[in-house]
Structure 1
Amino acid sequence: MKGDRKEVDTSNSSQKNKYIAIKELHTIGYSISELCKYAKIARASYYKWLNRPETLRDRENAIVLDEIIKVYLEVKGIYGYRRITLNINRRLNSQYNHKRIYRLMKSIKLSSVIRRKRKNYIQSTPQITAENVLNREFTAERPNEKWLTDVTEFKLTTGKKAYLSAILDLGDNSIISYVLGHSNNNILVFDTLDQAIDTNPTAKPIFHSDRGFQYTNRTFKNKLDKFEATQSMSRVSRCIDNGPMEGFWGILKVEMYYLRKFDSYEELEAAIDEYIDFYNTKRLQKKLKGMTPIEYRSHTLAS
């Protein structure tokens, strides 16, 4: 082949990473010829590299890259290099820099899925309003000190809609309760709150929301008063006041919802159950010292 005559600088770090990737992918059945063509390198240069004396770093990169591919496939490509780094460091009990993981991923053109997100608002005339007590202080010493809540919308291929209400605990970023419904109404939000109280009966948190109609009615305020929660609300048109909750919606939609089409309510419900379990119990977070939300919650409550 004409391309096989092309000379390649095998001392180049990026080029070496491509060679390592080809070697690893070939072991699971991919064609060397096709991999070289995809990576835009000459087969002769790859074989020249393959037959050279292998260095310690080469062997280490091969191990790391193999683990990167495993993680990436397990999560169906939703992780970027920073979250891949967290998982690699846990699995290999290492402290690899995210830049090194980025270079290895780039060498085989691995990247997270392109995302999009959108927020819809429902105008309402409030019966009850509250000050922004939370005041964008999005940290908590322990679980059950600060809860955030919101409702988001999903569309099915049939044109029908579903609505998810959830409560996030700022102490560990876990989703402590959630309810999916066919309508965006008071019952949806009330059931979500009741679920959170049932599982955390001694909690007396700051309870923060936007000014949606469900949160500004007297019945909801009475429910908060009953378990001694302090109500807090975002300012008008300031979605950043509820930033972590908005952030969770973005994560859920780009890592699950936008990756597929949902034909039925039941199909969506099953996917949400699966994803929130994944988020709470398997998705490592750097701000939680590399733990999952539930791991961090258990660790914090036990200390």
Structure 2
Amino acid sequence: MEKDTRTPAGARKYRIDAMCRWLEVSRSGYYEWRGRPASATSRRRAHLTRMIIAVFEGSDGTYGHRRVHAHLARQGETCGVELVRSLMRQADLVAYQPRPWRQSLTDAGLTGPIPDLVNRDFTASAPRRENGR
């Protein structure tokens, strides 16, 4: 079971009593909240997030929220598409579709000018005249 970290972001910077006054909560209420176990909803969301990450990584990052949801449904998990979508957003999971590899017609390692193997002359004899006439 994961540890629920409920420590405020500035806990190392500010004193607890000052933060409680600023947030207008009692110190005893803060300590009661901090010591409270994680709720069933947060545990379920954490479990679903782990499963979503596993499915997403298994697809090499190509599955979006609909396909991840379909995969979870096939595994017997009951959850909504929007829940999967929001959990993927919280986990910063963004699907991408790789483009097909296409062969290049030029050599990427070639440097310098390309040799003229046909020896054509494209210089005009005068302005506005066709070549060779």
Structure with greater proportional strand content: 1
User: TM-score normalized by structure 1?
Assistant: 0.23
Tell which structure's C-alpha radius of gyration is larger.
Answer: 2
Structure with greater proportional helix content: 1
